[in-house]
Amino acid sequence: MATNKQDPDELIRAFGNPELKKANPCPFCKSTALSVGVVDAKRLGKGNVWQVHCSNCQCRGPAGDSAQRAVAKWNSDFSPLHSREIVD
């Protein structure tokens, strides 16, 4: 019988930042395997920004100037074009 256990590293990523407890599931694949972190966007003239990232479908949310702002933008409606605003 197969069990549906979550990877402990995934849980650490998912709950490592308390702001993620407020994040909605991924709007594209409905996964809750999310992380939020700093992305170097200097090449776009923005400096460092925060983004929510879905580990399942690799979607990235809109850039925010803090983890709290990135989660707020993630929870709002954004188009797939915005999900690729920052590409690593």
Q: What share of the chain is helix, strand, coil (3-state, %, to 5)?
A: 35, 20, 50
Compute the distance between CA of residue 45 and CA of residue 77 in angstroms, rounded to an integer: 25
Average pLDDT over residues 62-75: 91
What is the pLDDT confidence band of residue 69, given thresholds at 50, 70 and 90? very high
pLDDT tens sequence across 1-60: 444 454 545 554 545 677 888 899 998 899 999 998 888 766 666 678 889 999 999 989
Average pLDDT over residues 70-85: 71
Compute the distance between CA of residue 41 and CA of residue 31 in angstroms, rounded to an integer: 25
Angstrom distances, CA of residue 8 to CA of 18, 23, 27: 17, 19, 23
Hey, which residues does 74 pair with through a beta bridge?
A: none
Domain boundaries, the chain: 13-77
